[in-house]
Homo-oligomer: A and B are copies of this chain.
Amino acid sequence: MAVEVVYRSSRDLERLFMDKAEADRHDRMLELAEALATALHRASPTLTDQQCEDIGIYMAKNREVFAKAFKNNPEALAELPDEAQP
């Protein structure tokens, strides 16, 4: 038996990481996902909280692709995976 260090984001207490850099990435992804969910709610008030959260997480997980699309390359979105990603 031994004591070991694990890392987690304060936004998601369930998910533990052995690697601090991975925990940081997860935290930044969730930060963007939350900000997007809030923005989506303002954009389309008919969306449910669950829909806003799902879309926010999907976009945040694929942030590089969306960054390209919003910069000047909408075709980049064709690279996106289907939603059922782990």
Chain A residues with CB under 8 Å of chain B are 31-32, 34-36, 38-40, 42-47, 51, 54-55, 58-59, 63-64, 66-67, 69-71, 74-75, 77-78, 80, 82-83
- A45-B83, A67-B67, A71-B71 are known; give 9 further A-B pairs, CB within 8 A: A42-B82, A43-B58, A44-B51, A44-B54, A44-B55, A44-B83, A46-B51, A55-B55, A63-B70
A-side binding surface: helix, strand, loop or mixed?
A: helix
Kindly report how many copies of this chain are found in the complex they form together.
Answer: 2
**Bound Cα distance A17, B49 (Å):** 38
Q: Which residues of B contact A78 (CB under 8 A)?
A: 35
**CB–CB B70/A31 < 8 A:** no
